A and B are shown apart, each in its own frame.
Chain A
Amino acid sequence: MKILALIAVALTGWLLMSAVSDFPDWGDPHSPANSYRLSQGYITDTFPQTSVPNMVTAVLADYRGYDTMFETVVIFTAGIAIIGILRRYGPKDKVIPEQKLYKKEPDLIVETTCRLMIPIIQLFALYVVAHGHHSPGGGFQGGVIFGASFILLALARDLQATQKWVPESRILNLAGTGIFIYAGFGFLCLLLGSNFLDYAILHKVMGVTPIEARSHSMLGVEIGVAFTVTAIMFSIYSNLASNGYMKEGL
């Protein structure tokens, strides 16, 4: 089996490597990918049309906003699928025998460090979401950092204690709200008479110029993405770490 795998992999690798001689040189500004009119168009037209300096966020949330909406739906579906695969309900109050329950007493160093660090991590996550227009960042990165702060809380204390802050129903509500915000922006544009996710028409509701309306709707849409990603990251962690019972974590 390994010999066959080695032959198949070597064959694929040789095929790919023999195609390398047709590739453009490293760092060529006039390679076919770089001189494509859309690539150059995104660089020159992003700021005049949307007043957002970060080109990647502008393309992600405005020019390719439909893709990003379905990417959010993919994350949501993955979270739901993991709940569907793993979640089960043990006996109500009894100890689950197969889980290795070792009660640890709260450790002073870990508790103090987490108490200092978690608010700063969450503040940084909100900063990353809000400054996606001017610096690297955006909805997805900020959402992952926010979810990671909840995971840190669950690692430092018990999973049961964290569930007082983020119970399962609230997490799933948050995830659904995120997608609802994103699709809601699209439908609002439809109701006002323009295309789906065509943000320029929202200037009638917001009271700014059409170009500023695109910039502000991008922020709203990124907030929706951040909600969903936060919720699903913590939900996946709590399902994986407790093997579905949601009673005893790592």
Chain B
Amino acid sequence: MIWIFDSIILIFLVVTAIISLQVKDLLSASMIFGVYSFLMCLLWAGMAAVDVAFTEAAVGAGVSAVFLIATVFRTSRRSSD
């Protein structure tokens, strides 16, 4: 628990969460969601929760972002808000 490290990651976490929901291009939203997942994984690794971090790295930043991009490809890419 290094305070400065965790604080910077938390600030980035809030910023990526807000940006991922505000961009109009859905492909960028999925990719920024992948960044959000990866930052979560770093946070948990810093809290000594290694199993949870491993699972989130494999599932969130890997498979979940791919599912989102596959769906965006098959539906439309622009969103109105």
Contacts and interface: CB of A to CB of B under 8 A. Distances in A.
Interface string A219-243: 0000000000000010011001101
A136 B50 contact: yes
B21 interface: no
B51 A56 contact: yes
Contact of A144 (B1, B59, B67, B73): B59
A241 B58 contact: no
Given A56-B51, A250-B73, A151 B58 contact: no
B54 interface: yes
Interface string B15-59: 000000000000000000000000000000000001101110011
Interface string B49-78: 011011100110011001101110110000
Contacts of A27: 1
A20 to B, nearest CB: 15
A84 B58 CA distance: 26
A141 interface: yes
A176 interface: no
Interface residues of B, number: 17
A233 B70 CA distance: 13
Interface string A11-33: 00000000000000011000000
Interface in A119-164: 136-138, 140-141, 144-145, 147-148, 151
Interface string A96-133: 00000000000000000000000000000000000000
Given A137-B54, A141-B54, A236 B62 contact: no
Nearest to A136: B50
Contacts of A243: 74
A236 B59 contact: no
5 contacts: A27-B1, A137-B51, A140-B55, A141-B51, A233-B63
A72 to B, nearest CB: 14
Nearest to B49: A56
Nearest to A236: B67
B74 A147 contact: no
Given A56-B51, A136-B51, A144-B55, 6 more contacts: A26-B1, A141-B58, A144-B63, A145-B58, A148-B58, A148-B63
